[in-house]
Amino acid sequence: RLDFAASELGFATLDGSKGSAIDLVREATGGEGFDVVFDATGNTQSVHSAFAHVAHGGTLVLVSVVKDDIVFSDPEFHKREMTLIGSRNALRADFDHVATSIRDGAVPLAKLVTHRTTLGDTPRDLARWAHEKSGLIKAVIQVG
What sign does the CA torsion over 114, 117, 123, 124 have? Answer: negative
What sign does the CA torsion over 16, 20, 25, 28 have? Answer: negative
- pLDDT-above-90 percentage for the chain: 65
pLDDT in tens, 6-45: 888 888 888 888 889 899 999 999 999 999 999 988 899 9
Q: Look up the pTM and report it.
A: 0.69
Q: Is 81 left (phi over 0), alpha (psi -120 to 50) or beta?
A: left
Calculate Rg over the CA atoms of the chain: 18
- In this prediction, residues 1-5 reach a mean pLDDT of 82
The answer to whether residues 13 and 78 belong to one domain is yes
The answer to whether residues 71 and 130 belong to one domain is no
The answer to whether residues 75 and 96 belong to one domain is no
CATH value at residue 20 = 3.40.50.720
The answer to whether residues 50 and 113 belong to one domain is no
pLDDT in tens, 53-72: 999 999 999 988 888 999 99
CA distance 90 to 122: 26
The answer to whether residues 100 and 78 belong to one domain is no
Residue 136's domain spans which residues?
A: 92-142
The answer to whether residues 108 and 71 belong to one domain is no
The answer to whether residues 98 and 44 belong to one domain is no
The answer to whether residues 46 and 68 belong to one domain is yes
- Count how many domains the chain has: 2
Helix (H, G, I), strand (E, B) or coil at 1: coil
